Amino acid sequence: MPHPEHLLLRSLARQPVERTPLWLMRQAGRYLPEYRALRGSFSQLTEFFRSPQAACEAAMQPLARYPLDAAIVFSDILTIPDAMGLGLKFLSGEGPRFEHPLRTARQIRALAPPDPEQELGYVLEAVRMTRQALAERVPLIGFTGSPWTLAAYMVEGRGGNNFPHARALLREQPQAAEQLLDTLATAVALLLGAQAQAGAQVLQIFDSWGGLLSDEEYRRWSLEYLHRTIAALPTTCGGKPPPLIVFVRDGGRSLTQLAASGCAAVGVDEQLSHWPPELDIVVQGNLDPALLSTDPKQLDIAVDTVLKRFANAPGHIFNLGHGVPPPTDPALVEVLVDSVRQRSQRPSAH
């Protein structure tokens, strides 16, 4: 059972908290020397996150340094397409690449959602090992990419800024796009449900490329399949699912629709400068990650700004607008954590 004192779970349940809970996207990452040392023992990043023991160690490293309020399983949003046989590789300086990108309707028809226990068992074992290592110190977050974000990578074959092949699929082969996204909605729901059953106490969906789409496109090609994924979670989780956070890069224009999707919280990036007072949902975010290269005084002022921005939200989880940048000085992360903990203190919630 979740520990009753977990701030993150209380905040997601809209219960009183004595301070704002804090965790960081990519809190296990290259800014930590101990992470770089561990990463150096693997020739490929895919080998790293396929090792449950190494994944558990990576997830625990930031908690040894900082009093964070959650751990997140060390994995990658692209494990599902990798399990579908697209051949995931990470090239130095270029990010993820697929050896076999999807470009035809025939390729898409041949896809099937992977069985989490059989084909993604290393993710679930990492969840189990990390949950055990945490010993209820803080809750564990499981995650995956959104159907649209996964589709964008799978069709394009790599990361980028515009994803021309993926966007062309939506325009030129809409039936194939619908079939791909439907398959991915099922796959995402299955993997999230399996992570919950393996011990994840919170779930997060990363819609990293939702901002590429127009409002109408977003509703059709991302939000629709997020709704399908969320609706399937009670079944794939084997009962009531853990609270779900949906993070959308450049998703400020879609907050109202996201709030109605059934998620417990929306994650927002640094571009959102104003929280709509009528929006009735917990928010996660949204310090600009670039501020982790500034001086401690400016960082402290920025923390205060973010805390005030969301003071009237039903609940607030402090996080970055994106992941911790690799060049970040670990000492500045300590400044950030201390600032959030001190500035967000409230009278006892008990």
Pick the catalytic residue from 31, 66, 153, 218.
153
Q: Kindly tell me the number of DSSP H helices and DSSP E strands found in the chain.
A: 16, 9
The three-point CA angle 211-214-217 to 5° equals: 105
CA distance 269 to 289: 9
Q: What is the pLDDT along the chain (350 residues), one digit of tens a residue?
A: 345 579 999 999 999 999 999 999 999 999 999 999 999 999 989 999 999 999 999 999 999 999 999 999 999 999 999 999 999 998 777 789 999 999 899 999 999 999 999 999 999 999 999 999 999 999 999 999 999 999 999 999 988 778 999 999 999 999 999 999 999 999 999 999 999 999 999 999 999 998 889 989 999 999 999 999 999 999 999 999 999 999 998 877 788 889 999 999 999 999 999 999 899 999 999 999 999 999 999 999 999 999 999 999 999 999 999 999 999 999 999 999 999 999 999 876 54
259 in helix, strand or coil? helix
CA distance 313 to 320: 17
In the annotation, is 131 catalytic? Answer: no
pLDDT in tens, 158-173: 887 789 999 999 999 9
Strands of 210-287, DSSP E: 244-248, 265-268, 282-287
pLDDT in tens, 32-52: 999 999 999 999 899 999 999
Whole-structure pTM value: 0.96
In the annotation, is 82 catalytic? Answer: no
Pairing of the two strands 282-287 and 265-268? parallel
The full set of domain ranges for the chain reads 7-343
CATH code at 7-343: 3.20.20.210
In the annotation, is 106 catalytic? Answer: no
In the annotation, is 36 catalytic? Answer: no
In the annotation, is 76 catalytic? Answer: yes
Q: Which residue has the tokens 């001190």?
A: 342
Pick the catalytic residue from 69, 76, 82, 300.
76
Strands of 19-155, DSSP E: 71-72, 88-91, 95-98, 140-145
